[in-house]
Chains A and B, each alone.
Chain A
Amino acid sequence: MLSNIGSILVLLILSLSLLIIHNAYLEIKTNNQLIKKRIYNLSLFQTTFTILSFFTLILGFIYSDFSIVNVYENSHTAKPLFYKIAGTWGNHEGSLLLWINILVLFSYLFLIFNQQHDKKFRLYTLIFQNFLILGFVIFLLLNSNPFSSIYPVPLEGLGLNPILQDPALAIHPPLLYIGFVGCSIYFSAAIASILSEYNGKQFALSIKSWVQISWVFQTVGITVGSIWAYYELGWGGFWFWDPVENASLLPWFAISALMHSIMVLEKRNSLYEWVIILCLSTFILSVTGTFLVRSGILNSVHTFASDPSRGLYILFFLSLMIFTSLIIFFKKRKKENYNFNSNSKETFILANNWFMVFFLATVLIGTLYPIFLDVLTDIKVSVGPPFYNIVIIPLVIPFLILMTLGPKFSWINSKKEKLYKTLYVLLGAIIINLFLFYLFGNYGLYANLILIAATFLILHSILDAKKSIKNKKRFEYSRIISHLGFGLLVFFIGINHQHSVETDFNLKIGETKILNNYELFFENIKIEQNKNYKSVVGEFKITELKKKNIQYLNPEIRIYANPETLTYEAAIKSKISSDLYLTMSNVSRSDFYNIKFQNKPFMIWIWISAFMIALGGFVQLLQKKNES
């Protein structure tokens, strides 16, 4: 029954999209200044039915209704309730329904929160957003229906992958989707803006909050994903430049560039074309990312079960999106006159965009290159972390410096003297740092430069913060928080990378391994039986040689029954100064266990810095509400 309800609701959403498009189009032709109540109602109904359909699927998971294929394939009666619910979006079809929910919700919210804006603009946005909704709903119905039913009804489900049974991973998709999918609304708004020849500054004001919301959620979503990877996947890393990770990073670069350019559009009514291009590119990148992840074209730890027919449909949809936006853009664009002063804030914002485009291009090229090479020449290459590190790291240095200097410049012209004073003071700080680094570390040139540049940004932001609080310049808080967060992030990642201690060796029960700074004693193995898994627990005593303190760490090998999987749970002791990280796996057909022991400095600070970046955006979002 739930299956039928769900399917009906989805058909209703489809019909409503068509009705909305039709009504909105007619409405554009009329001369009324206000939008007819009917369109609001249609949109409200659409939102209601969409949320209901998602709720229906959740109910299916909660009550283990295995007549629904999706529930059968992804759930199990023995699953804890929280993970039954999270299972709703932890699969391809369910996550698609979540996409549609966000598309519809944002469509409605944009409509009602932009009443002070031009009617034509709002209606066109509604129309194009609904075209997107239509595309996804048709995809859902034709190819990936979460409500398709199975008969006879199986007695038990196939279970959810145990690796996905984790709180961080449960909230990671919804967070990320608000970012990914949220940018659909300003994609539609950008097309609408071109078609209705809307004023640039007004356009910027209409989408500003939406850009901020999608950016904050994207940042948090990526961070939570990394935290999950660190705590759950057992390799001690948090970013692998894996194609799926890259797919989430690409829109992030575009949205970050957009966050900055929008300021120029709002304050100086300039860069209109570029902002439009960014708005269009962001959602195009999101859908491209979805294509890469769900079509099976790439090889990755993260991919959903892949299916080429999905890939074909998404590719088709992506092509439609790109061609439509390109054609409309070229047909109706207007020439723009740029009026920049070379030592003004606009130039620095342009510089930010310049670097963001570079980072984006690098990640895009690195991710796509293996595909292109394979298709064109049949050669298989791997592009992994070394490539990204080598290409990106050198340019992070000037980026950090520009990030520090940029905010100092005012909008039109800056006094040069003010600048020299600040630079002078900070240059002194840099020299002191150099001195310290050479005392304590033995880094390469790039590591040194990065840490110096990051410190420059950090120091500057702290001094700025003091000044802003003193002068009560509230509007600067968000920028300072985000920039400080970014500086701290680069700083802590840099140190973590340089000073992480990683070892890999084989050990038998009862043996001791002596390292430079630690002594590991493999005490024992204990076997435990839990609710839905059996675990082999290793008991290790770790002595830090210099300080003589002792820790006990218990990594596990978990054997799940439904489906039959093996996972390796790392034992992690997180402290303020560093994390101790221990994983154990058995070497097949031997008494040896393969042990990976790591000491990773400042891990917690990396997470805190990343959240701080998002916090800045969140603060800015709240501020806007206060102002208006």
Chain B
Amino acid sequence: MKVNFLKIIIFSFVIFFLLIFWLGLKKDNSYNTKNLIGHRISSFQLPSIHNNDLISDEVLKQNQFTLINFFASWCAPCRIEHQYLIKIANQNKNVKILGINFKDKKINALDFLSKLGDPYNFVAEDPDGKASILFGTYGIPESILINKELNIIKKIIGPIDQKQFEEILKLTQ
């Protein structure tokens, strides 16, 4: 009797383990983006790239939605996603775009914007990259969509593609 009970327990354990392994195979192992959605972004204060002003989160409260986009002149995928940023700036008046220039030189960034177009309502500089950590980013390009209350609605890791572009438009109607 006791042995039968033991057998059942052992077999159940084994089946449980193998099941978890099987399910684990199907899981995606990549970055975890969900942990920040719904959270408020931290307060920040970054120097503007254009003048001596400081850009802070207070300014963003005036916008319906803000898309915070991390970019750099030396970043190749940033060039590819740039067209979508320009489209968003033109098509959607609800969304303002804040560009954060990550580990870059001012001259190069301004040159980049003059050549590829400037979709940004504000551009802040983050020369040592420390601000990116405040926003919980891993690298560039990355974009964070926030609302008027400064809560994160969507986080995009990597360049914005067509599908994400359409989703941004949908979320910011």
A residues apposed to B, CB below 8 Å:
291, 295-297, 299, 308, 311-312, 315, 318-319, 322-323, 326, 330, 371-372, 374-376, 378, 380, 588-589
Residues of chain B from 107 to 157 with CB closer than 8 A to chain A in the complex: none
Q: A326-B10, A326-B11, A589-B74 are in contact. Are A371 and B20 (CB under 8 A)?
A: yes
* Residue B103 CB within 8 A of the other chain: yes
Residue in B14, B26, B29, B34 whose beta carbon sits within 8 Å of that of A322 in the complex: B14
Q: How many Å lie between the Cα of A318 and that of B14 in the bound state?
A: 11
A326 touches B18 (CB 8 A): no
- CB A322 to nearest CB in B, in angstroms, measures 6
- CB B119 to nearest CB in A, in angstroms, measures 24
Q: A326-B11, A375-B20 are in contact. Are A312 and B32 (CB under 8 A)?
A: no
Residues of chain B from 49 to 104 with CB closer than 8 A to chain A in the complex: 74, 103-104
- CB B67 to nearest CB in A, in angstroms, measures 25
B23 touches A375 (CB 8 A): yes
Q: Which residues does chain B contribute within 8 Å of A374, judged by CB atoms?
A: 24, 27
Q: Looking at chain B, what size class is its interface with the partner chain? A: 20 to 34
Q: Which residues does chain B contribute within 8 Å of A311, judged by CB atoms?
A: 25
Q: How many Å lie between the Cα of A318 and that of B21 in the bound state?
A: 11
Q: Which residues does chain B contribute within 8 Å of A318, judged by CB atoms?
A: 18
Q: Which residues does chain B contribute within 8 Å of A376, judged by CB atoms?
A: 20
B14 touches A297 (CB 8 A): no
* Residue B5 CB within 8 A of the other chain: no
Q: Which residues does chain A contribute within 8 Å of B29, judged by CB atoms?
A: 296-297, 299
B20 touches A319 (CB 8 A): no
B residues apposed to A, CB below 8 Å:
3, 7, 10-11, 14, 18, 20-27, 29, 32, 34, 74, 103-104
Q: How many Å lie between the Cα of A375 and that of B3 in the bound state?
A: 31
A380 touches B32 (CB 8 A): yes
Residue in A291, A308, A330, A380 whose beta carbon sits within 8 Å of that of B7 in the complex: A330
Q: How many Å lie between the Cα of A372 and that of B25 in the bound state?
A: 11
- 9 nearest interchain CB pairs? A371-B24, A375-B23, A311-B25, A297-B24, A375-B24, A319-B18, A375-B20, A380-B32, A308-B25
- CB A314 to nearest CB in B, in angstroms, measures 9
Residue in B18, B23, B26, B103 whose beta carbon sits within 8 Å of that of A589 in the complex: B103
Who on chain B is nearest to A308 by CB?
Answer: B25
A297 touches B7 (CB 8 A): no
A297 touches B21 (CB 8 A): yes
Q: Which residues does chain A contribute within 8 Å of B21, judged by CB atoms?
A: 291, 297, 315, 371
Q: How many Å lie between the Cα of A539 and that of B171 in the bound state?
A: 55
Q: How many Å lie between the Cα of A473 and that of B3 in the bound state?
A: 44
Q: A297-B21, A589-B103 are in contact. Are A375 and B27 (CB under 8 A)?
A: yes
Who on chain B is nearest to A297 by CB?
Answer: B24
Given A375-B24, A589-B74, 13 more A-B residue pairs with CB atoms under 8 Å apart are A297-B21, A297-B24, A297-B25, A297-B29, A299-B29, A312-B22, A323-B14, A326-B14, A371-B20, A374-B24, A374-B27, A375-B20, A375-B27
Q: How many Å lie between the Cα of A318 and that of B22 in the bound state?
A: 12
Q: How many Å lie between the Cα of A378 and that of B34 in the bound state?
A: 10
Who on chain B is nearest to A319 by CB?
Answer: B18
A312 touches B10 (CB 8 A): no
- CB B85 to nearest CB in A, in angstroms, measures 23
- CB A51 to nearest CB in B, in angstroms, measures 33
Q: How many Å lie between the Cα of A380 and that of B11 in the bound state?
A: 28
Q: Which residues does chain A contribute within 8 Å of B10, judged by CB atoms?
A: 326
Q: How many Å lie between the Cα of A330 and that of B6 in the bound state?
A: 10
Q: Which residues does chain A contribute within 8 Å of B20, judged by CB atoms?
A: 371-372, 375-376
Who on chain B is nearest to A298 by CB?
Answer: B29
Q: Which residues does chain B contribute within 8 Å of A323, judged by CB atoms?
A: 14
Q: Which residues does chain A contribute within 8 Å of B104, judged by CB atoms?
A: 589
CB-defined A-B contacts under 8 Å, sample of 21: A296-B25, A297-B21, A297-B27, A297-B29, A308-B25, A311-B25, A315-B21, A315-B22, A319-B18, A322-B14, A326-B10, A326-B14, A371-B20, A371-B21, A372-B20, A374-B27, A375-B23, A375-B27, A376-B20, A588-B103, A589-B74
- CB A313 to nearest CB in B, in angstroms, measures 11
- CB A428 to nearest CB in B, in angstroms, measures 47
Q: How many Å lie between the Cα of A263 and that of B100 in the bound state?
A: 68
B23 touches A315 (CB 8 A): no
- CB A268 to nearest CB in B, in angstroms, measures 24
- CB A556 to nearest CB in B, in angstroms, measures 25
B25 touches A315 (CB 8 A): yes
Who on chain B is nearest to A306 by CB?
Answer: B29
Interface centre among B7, B14, B20, B21 (most CB of A within 10 A): B21
Q: How many Å lie between the Cα of A326 and that of B20 in the bound state?
A: 19
- CB B40 to nearest CB in A, in angstroms, measures 21
Q: How many Å lie between the Cα of A318 and that of B103 in the bound state?
A: 49
Interface centre among A299, A319, A326 (most CB of B within 10 A): A319
- CB B162 to nearest CB in A, in angstroms, measures 27
Who on chain B is nearest to A312 by CB?
Answer: B25
Q: Which residues does chain B contribute within 8 Å of A589, judged by CB atoms?
A: 74, 103-104
Q: Which residues does chain A contribute within 8 Å of B24, judged by CB atoms?
A: 297, 371, 374-375
